[in-house]
Amino acid sequence: MISTPWGPLPCADAHVHFFSRDFLAALAMEKGIPLDDLGRHLGWQIPADAHALAEQWAAELDRHGVERAALVASKPGDQDSVIAAVEKFPGRFFAWAMVNPCAAFAADSIRSAFQARLLRGLSFFPAMHRYSIQDERALAMIDMLAERGGVAFVHCGALTVGFRAKLGLRSDFDLRFSNPVDLHRVALLYPQVKFVIPHFGAGYFREALMVADLSPNVYLDTSSSNQWMRYEAEQTDLRTVFRRALAVLGPSRLLFGTDSSFFPRGWIRAVYETQAEIVPEDSAERIFHENFERLFPLR
Per DSSP, the three-state class of 74 is: coil
d(CA 250, CA 45): 39
pTM over 0.85: yes
Give domain status of residue 4, yes or no.
no
Give domain status of residue 75, yes or no.
yes
Give domain status of residue 1, yes or no.
no
Give domain status of residue 50, yes or no.
yes
d(CA 235, CA 230): 7
- Provide CB contacts within 8 A for 201, sequence distance 6+: 156, 157, 180, 207, 208, 209, 220, 228
Phi, psi of 260 (to 5 degrees): -65, 155
Residue 78 belongs to a domain with what CATH number? 3.20.20.140
How many structural domains are present in the chain?
A: 1
Determine the number of helices (DSSP H) and then strands (DSSP E) in the chain: 14, 8
Give domain status of residue 17, yes or no.
yes
pLDDT confidence of residue 116: 67
Nearest to 277 by CA among 1, 4, 3: 4
CB 259 within 8 A of CB 12: no
- Alpha carbons within 13 angstroms on the beta-carbon side of residue 72 total 26
d(CA 52, CA 39): 16
What domain range includes position 237? 12-295
User: Going residue by residue through the chain (299 aa), what tens digit of pLDDT does each one get?
Assistant: 777 777 788 999 999 999 999 999 999 999 999 999 999 999 999 999 999 999 999 999 999 999 999 999 999 999 999 999 999 999 999 999 999 999 877 778 788 777 767 888 999 999 999 999 999 999 999 999 999 889 999 999 999 899 999 999 998 999 999 999 999 999 999 999 999 999 999 999 999 999 999 999 999 999 998 999 999 878 899 999 999 999 999 999 999 999 999 999 999 999 999 999 999 999 999 999 999 999 999 87
Give domain status of residue 6, yes or no.
no
Give domain status of residue 5, yes or no.
no
Give domain status of residue 45, yes or no.
yes
